[in-house]
Amino acid sequence: KQEVTQIPAALSVPEGENLVLNCSFTDSAIYNLQWFRQDPGKGLTSLLLIQSSQREQTSGRLNASLDKSSGRSTLYIAASQPGDSATYLCAVRTGANNLFFGTGTRLTVIP
Amino acid sequence: GAGVSQTPSNKVTEKGKYVELRCDPISGHTALYWYRQSLGQGPEFLIYFQGTGAADDSGLPNDRFFAVRPEGSVSTLKIQRTERGDSAVYLCASSLLVDVSTDTQYFGPGTRLTVL
């Protein structure tokens, strides 16, 4: 069974700092990898989707990379802002109905 | 357009009671998914519908859990004889599922279920 691990579990940084969130997965047979954001009491919002044939995707201050062979992905957030405070979840898609999530990294950006 | 909606947003019930959780997917999305998220954990897959049929219910924890999608749109997750361990946030998602490699699931805000 696919297992997804995220490190660190929690992270606190001062505003303006660049940061990296890590995700690892055990089975490289994936269709894609997604990064989601979850705010307290709310659902998940998709941030970036990287297909298995791609190496990275960028959206604004966010950049996600994928190394499928080593089972790793990183989410880079540039110039962090207090509004970036949320839990970030990594998920890998292994089939039409198989989306496996990590336990998330809780990010706090201090003004 | 409207996103995925779920009702109720919160549900408190007593052990042994029956509950129904509703999900309204994005119009036109043929695929619908239910997940359960326990505190401090990522969402875990429960069941997947393609149209009206349950294409995969392998994530349902036991036979107290059942879900339907009779007209291929709205779905209801039903839990019988609730137990305290069923307390969690139940998330619904929908997608077009034309190509798995580019498919994005859109999530609702969830229903927080508390079993006393």
Rg (CA), chain B: 14
Mapping DSSP to helix (H, G, I), strand (E, B) and coil, where does residue A82 land? helix
CB nearest A102 (choices: B42, B93, B97): B42
Chain A hits for B40, CB-CB cut-off 8 Å, are: 103
B102 with A51: Cβ contact below 8 A: yes
Give dist(CA B36, CA B45) in Å, integer.
Answer: 7
Residue type, B43: P
Give dist(CA B101, CA A99) in Å, integer.
Answer: 12
Residue A86 confidence (pLDDT): 97
B98 Cβ under 8 Å from any chain A Cβ? no
Residue B2: pLDDT band with limits 50, 70, 90: confident
φ/ψ of B109, rounded to 5, equals: -75, -15
By C-alpha distance, which of B23, B8, B7, B16 is closest to B79?
A: B16
Q: What is the dihedral of CA B36, B65, B2, B50, to 10 degrees?
A: 100
What confidence tens digit (pLDDT) does each residue in B58-82 have? 999 999 999 999 998 999 999 999 9
What confidence tens digit (pLDDT) does each residue in B79-101 have? 999 999 999 999 999 999 888 88
Considering only alpha carbons, which residue of chain A is nearest residue B36? A101
What confidence tens digit (pLDDT) does each residue in B22-35 have? 999 999 999 999 99
What confidence tens digit (pLDDT) does each residue in A27-81 have? 999 999 999 999 987 889 999 999 999 999 999 999 999 999 999 999 999 999 9
Considering only alpha carbons, which residue of chain A is nearest residue B112? A41
B55 Cβ under 8 Å from any chain A Cβ? yes
- Tokens describing residue B18: 């029956």
Residue A87 confidence (pLDDT): 96
